[in-house]
Amino acid sequence: MQLLYGGDNMLKGSTTVIPYSEIDYEIQNLVRYINEIDGIETSDSCCGHGETPCQIWFRADNAECLTRFWHNYLYGNPNWHIVLDMSDVDIDDGLWDKPTYLLETTIPDYYYVGLAIDYLTYRIKYGRI
């Protein structure tokens, strides 16, 4: 699991850069595109390494941003779900100052997770399809 810190080259006014080269290769582009969505910012990620579902922790500025993210990119996509209750997160970190959510694949199989990652990356990059 890699910790992410804000935006790419001061994205969204952040002064901290995400070390994309340290993110699991399989999800680098997906994490980059998620961070480009207004009101959404990732905080941690793990591709699952073929053993567990892919997981991307993120924060939303408000409920409208979270709803827009879900509606535009995840609605009708059975390969992903958002875990809304992250009250049991066991991370003692100052970056968790906003409600944090978990974007997770619904399948752990490495091949299908790869397809789900590619599809969601494409969907975010080129707009809702």
Sign of CA dihedral 73, 77, 80, 86: positive
Residue 13 has pLDDT above 60, yes or no: no
Q: What is the pTM of this model?
A: 0.79
Residue 108 has what pLDDT? Answer: 76
pLDDT tens track for 59-115: 999 999 999 999 999 998 899 999 986 655 555 555 555 678 999 999 878 788 999
Q: Residue 90: is it exposed, middle or buried by C-beta count within 10 angstroms (0-12/13-18/19+)?
A: exposed
Q: What was the pLDDT predicted at 42?
A: 92
Q: Are strands 80-83 and 40-46 parallel, antiparallel or unpaired?
A: unpaired
